[in-house]
Amino acid sequence: MSELYEWRALLRSATDTEQLGRFIGQSLQGGEVLALYGELGTGKTTLVRGIAAGLEVPPHIVNSPTFVLIHEYQGRVPLAHVDLYRIEAQPELQHIGISDYLDGQTVVAIEWADKGLLELPDNRFEVYLSHRSARTRKVILRARGTAMRGLLARVLKQHEALKAADSLQLARPIR
Ligand SMILES: Nc1ncnc2c1ncn2[C@@H]1O[C@H](COP(=O)(O)OP(=O)(O)OP(=O)(O)O)[C@@H](O)[C@H]1O
Ligand SMILES: [Mg+2]
């Protein structure tokens, strides 16, 4: 099993979530798979808006790809934003050509990554969002695989520099 590192924080507003996304976006090198988990309205799309901004995609164009299933943006590196919520079966995924985006160049951000329709690579960056209150969310960032650990370290370096969210604990290996 690949190494797993995680970090948790509280996000006190949508702005905090977007800011964390921006740190992630600024830390990406291209080709990373970002698996986003969390119930309805926990902020997955909000986070992707920040990620896009961090990748230098104009932020206002990022909306949920709920109906078209995938959006592709051109930033510093390409970004594919996928929402599996409405996808019911594998053929639909094949139809949108999901595997074409897993090309090692494109950053692929996947909402509802836990639907079990898509086989995710062992090396991936996971974001778990959950409701704490109307505006507060808990976030867990998990780096799976050595390369993703570097990504997590870069995100935390930026976070520590700006302290946009209150850290609950520092990054540490949990397995
Ligand atoms: N701390 C927060 N982080 C993120 N969103 C927040 C926060 N506080 C309030 N919100 C609001 O919650 C909503 C989150 O919506 P968003 O579309 O980002 O969630 P989602 O997880 O993508 O939902 P869905 O499962 O429907 O795709 C937005 O209206 C946002 O303004
Ligand atoms: Mg969404």
Q: What are the pLDDT digits (tens) for 72-94?
A: 999 999 999 999 888 887 777 78
| Confidence check: pLDDT of 16 > 70 | yes
Q: How far apart are CA 149 and CA 152, in angstroms?
A: 5
Mean pLDDT of 166-172: 47
Q: Which domain holds residue 94?
A: 4-173
Q: Could you tell me if the CB of 19 is within 6 A of ligand 1?
A: no
Domain count, the chain: 1
| Confidence check: pLDDT of 172 > 80 | no
Q: Could you tell me if the CB of 132 is within 6 A of ligand 1?
A: no
Q: Could you tell me if the CB of 15 is within 6 A of ligand 1?
A: no
Q: Could you tell me if the CB of 44 is within 6 A of ligand 1?
A: yes
| Confidence check: pLDDT of 60 > 70 | no
Q: Which of 13, 24, 39, 45 to mutate to test the pocket of ligand 1 (most atoms within 8 A of CB)?
A: 45
Q: What are the pLDDT digits (tens) for 22-55?
A: 999 999 999 999 999 999 999 999 999 999 999 9
Task: Using a cut of 0.75, tell me whether the model's pTM lies above it.
Answer: yes
Q: How far apart are CA 49 and CA 47, in angstroms?
A: 5
Q: What are the pLDDT digits (tens) for 132-145?
A: 999 999 999 999 98
pLDDT at 118: 82
Q: Whose CA is nearest to atom 6 of ligand 1?
A: 14
Q: 107: how many CB neighbours lie within 10 A of its CB?
A: 26
Q: Could you tell me if the CB of 157 is within 6 A of ligand 1?
A: no
Q: What are the pLDDT digits (tens) for 155-165?
A: 998 888 766 44
Domain CATH number, residue 149: 3.40.50.300
